[in-house]
């Protein structure tokens, strides 16, 4: 297999809502990547849950591109990381030498409501399954609302240093704890928010990577899909089997281990998910994720995570990888994590029914 690098990345400002079409949103970060670059684009992969037909090819056309390969990837919140896995595979296999991966979503995306899942009954908002996870983790391991609040405080503080983040104002533990209960024990400030946003990455072969300054290498990818429905995913409410399996495969492929990760972007659509991620990724022992949330041993979600940046679901995975690529290439400006060499991205879809873990190296 050929080595694959991330040569460039760009992310738009995430906003509550805009007048822009999904196509305009998608094109914006791509323009920053492809203008003035003397490199052909062999593939355009669009990550979105928007249902417009032929959308990837429309984006390619709008950008004046004639790629060999063009298609859309839709896998809810996991779409962006799945698109990167597909682009990686195409380049590693020699099918193409360069791939533009773009994630874009509108705040009113059909992907925000899980209408197919009859196992959720009338309680079919993501916050409902998140509350089940939180209650289970609390009763099994003693995780507290204050520990969950620490996640929100950290990520909102980080987001305040990210001009593209939806939320620019830090919050205190007290503010999180006193915010409105949405589904017990999940409070308003434990929740992320859907928004408009887009992010793009340029993946290239090793040969093309030589033309770029500080490319970041994709060292390992793990993916696991267990189900589409909560009723099937809910075998264990206090940990996510998909995430731990994906992490195991990614660590193996990258020949690395949790203690060697310097910086990570993890899926924090709800604060409890970040706590579960610490455990599923091996950063903390099972049941100790809550304590880990208060210790901040490594840099987690330096861009502000989903809680701070907002959650345009098709763009999220791409933006997570963009952040870690920027960190590892030393381009993260005021939020740069000093001396980071190995980074990790963890992303989930629909109650953790599928998960992707990507490991990157400087």
Rounded CA-CA distance 134/154 in Å is 19
Please indicate whether residue 309 is annotated as part of the active site: no
Coil vs helix vs strand at 55: helix
**CA distance readout (Å), 351 to 83, 129, 162, 267, 284:** 19, 7, 27, 11, 21
User: Does residue 123 interact with another protein by CB under 8 A?
Assistant: yes
Cβ-Cβ contacts under 8 Å for 18 (sequence gap 6 or more): 25, 196
Coil vs helix vs strand at 344: strand
User: Does residue 154 interact with another protein by CB under 8 A?
Assistant: no
Which string of DSSP letters, residue by residue, matches 80-134?
HHHHHHHHHHHHHHTS-SEEEEEEEE-TT-GGGS-TT-GGGTT--SHHHHHHHHH
Cβ-Cβ contacts under 8 Å for 262 (sequence gap 6 or more): 298, 299, 337, 339, 340, 341, 342, 343
Please indicate whether residue 128 is annotated as part of the active site: no
Strands 263-265 and 299-300: parallel
Q: Which of 184, 213, 334, 338 binds another protein (CB under 8 A)?
A: 184
User: Does residue 110 interact with another protein by CB under 8 A?
Assistant: no
User: Does residue 132 interact with another protein by CB under 8 A?
Assistant: yes
Rounded CA-CA distance 286/280 in Å is 8
Q: Which of 62, 127, 173, 253 binds another protein (CB under 8 A)?
A: 127
Counting residues that bind another protein (by CB under 8 A) gives 31
Rounded CA-CA distance 146/60 in Å is 46
- Cβ closest to another protein, residue 102 vs residue 132: 132
User: Does residue 125 interact with another protein by CB under 8 A?
Assistant: yes
How many residues are present in the chain?
A: 362
- Cβ closest to another protein, residue 89 vs residue 119: 119
Interacting residues with another protein between 217 and 276 (CB under 8 A): 227-232, 234, 237
- Cβ closest to another protein, residue 118 vs residue 252: 118
User: Does residue 355 interact with another protein by CB under 8 A?
Assistant: no
Strands 263-265 and 98-105: unpaired
Coil vs helix vs strand at 231: helix
Interacting residues with another protein between 274 and 313 (CB under 8 A): none
Window of 75-83, 134-142, 212-220, 301-309 that interacts with another protein by CB under 8 A: 134-142
Q: Which of 182, 319, 324, 328 binds another protein (CB under 8 A)?
A: 182
Q: How far is the CB of 357 from another protein (least distance, A)?
A: 26
Q: How far is the CB of 318 from another protein (least distance, A)?
A: 29
DSSP-assigned beta bridge partners for residue 124: none
Window of 27-35, 127-135, 272-280, 289-297 that interacts with another protein by CB under 8 A: 127-135
Window of 66-74, 84-92, 121-129, 246-254 that interacts with another protein by CB under 8 A: 121-129
Q: Which of 31, 93, 118, 252 binds another protein (CB under 8 A)?
A: 118
Rounded CA-CA distance 353/348 in Å is 7
Window of 31-39, 58-66, 125-133, 273-281 that interacts with another protein by CB under 8 A: 125-133
Q: Which of 337, 155, 346, 340 is nearest to 260 (CA)?
A: 340
Catalytic residue among 27, 77, 96, 340: 77
Catalytic residue among 128, 311, 340, 346: 311
Q: Which of 28, 42, 117, 262 binds another protein (CB under 8 A)?
A: 117
Rounded CA-CA distance 329/264 in Å is 14
Q: Are the CB atoms for 298 and 262 separated by under 8 Å?
A: yes
- Cβ closest to another protein, residue 230 vs residue 278: 230
Q: How far is the CB of 188 from another protein (least distance, A)?
A: 10
Q: Where do contacts with another protein occur on this chain (CB under 8 A)? A: 117-125, 127-129, 131-132, 135-136, 139, 180-185, 227-232, 234, 237
Q: Which sequence positions are flagged as catalytic?
A: 77, 311
């Amino acid at each position: 297999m050929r080595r694959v690098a991330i040569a460039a990345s760009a992310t738009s400002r995430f906003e509550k809502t805009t007048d822009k079409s999904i196509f305009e949103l998608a094109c914006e970060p791509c323009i920053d990547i492809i203008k003035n670059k003397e490199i052909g684009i062999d593939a355009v992969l669009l990550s979105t849950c928007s249902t417009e037909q032929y959308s990837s090819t429309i984006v390619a056309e709008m950008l004046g591109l004639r790629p060999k390969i063009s298609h859309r990837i839709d896998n809810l919140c996991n779409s962006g990381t799945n698109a990167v896995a597909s682009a990686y595979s195409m380049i590693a296999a020699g099918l193409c030498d360069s791939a533009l991966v773009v994630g874009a979503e509108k705040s009113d995306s059909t992907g925000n409501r899980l209408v197919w899942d009859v196992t959720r009954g009338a309680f079919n908002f993501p916050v409902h399954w998140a509350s089940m996870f939180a209650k289970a983790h609390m009763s099994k391991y003693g995780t507290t609302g204050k520990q969950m609040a620490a996640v929100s405080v950290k990520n909102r503080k980080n987001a305040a240093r990210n001009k593209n983040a939806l939320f620019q104002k830090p919050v205190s533990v007290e503010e999180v704890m006193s915010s409105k209960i949405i589904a017990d024990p999940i409070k308003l400030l434990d929740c992320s928010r859907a928004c408009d946003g887009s992010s793009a990455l340029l993946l290239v072969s090793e040969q093309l990577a030589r033309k770029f300054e500080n490319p970041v290498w994709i060292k390992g990818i793990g993916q696991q899909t267990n189900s589409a429905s909560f009723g099937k995913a809910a075998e264990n409410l206090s940990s996510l089997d998909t995430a731990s399996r994906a992490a195991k495969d990614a660590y193996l492929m990258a020949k690395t281990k949790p203690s060697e990760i310097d910086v990570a972007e993890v899926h924090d659509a709800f604060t409890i998910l970040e706590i579960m991620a610490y455990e599923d990724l091996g950063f903390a022992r099972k049941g100790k994720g809550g304590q880990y949330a208060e210790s901040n041993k490594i840099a987690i979600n330096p861009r502000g995570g989903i809680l701070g940046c907002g959650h345009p679901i098709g763009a999220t995975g791409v933006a997570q990888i963009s952040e870690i690529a920027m960190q590892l290439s030393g381009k993260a400006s005021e939020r740069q994590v000093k001396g980071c060499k190995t980074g990790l991205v963890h992303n989930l879809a629909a109650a953790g029914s599928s998960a992707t873990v990507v490991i990157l190296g400087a």
